[in-house]
Amino acid sequence: MKKTVLVFVLVALTASTAQAGVNVNVNVGVPAPRVVVSSPSVYFEVAPLFVAPSRLGFYVGAETPYDIIFSSDYYYLYYGNSWHNSRHYNGPWVEVHYRDLPPAIRNHRIEEIRSYRDREYRSYRNERNNYRGRHFRPDHERKEEMKQDRRRDKEERKYEKRRDKEERKEEKRDQKQHGHGRD
């Protein structure tokens, strides 16, 4: 009887396994499909303030709900558990693999970056007029640069105008001295 029960259990297990349709697939050498994440549509109405905590070696955006970094002429955005970069703080954003981030950023966890940013920003806020740390606001810097360019252009135009006026005076003097004037 024990043999009959054992045979019955083995037959039942074999039958249930056959009915379950166990299927094992092994794909060797076939890359997994790449998941494409659409770029984040993060837009700053006002250019963010960037502070540079000395322990990090790059600028970190403050006064913003986003984790944005400026390093090596690029802006880096940590958004949706992935990194993105752009030449402008308002994008367009392109996803960047972790291994392709600048080493200075890879050397720190995002939580550590946030902590250093918060400490540096508190210092900036408390010592606003006497703050000695590095900081910038992208559009503000560009506006100042544009103002200086306009001033330089204006000075050049003034100089050209003065030089032209002096040349005309000199030509008139030469004409009078050489008798080319009317008789």
Domain extent listing, the chain:
49-136, 137-178
**pLDDT over 60 (residue 6):** no
CA 47 to CA 52: how far, in whole Å?
Answer: 16
- Sign of torsion, CA 93 77 74 137? positive
Summarize pLDDT for 71-80 with one digit per residue, the tens.
988 999 999 9
| Number of helical H runs and strand E runs in the chain | 4, 7
**pLDDT over 80 (residue 57):** yes
- How many beta carbons lie within 10 A of that of residue 104, not counting itself? 13
Both structure tokens of 177: 């001295």
Summarize pLDDT for 109-162 with one digit per residue, the tens.
999 999 999 999 999 999 888 888 888 889 765 556 556 656 766 787 788 788
78 and 71 Cβ atoms separated by less than 8 Å = no
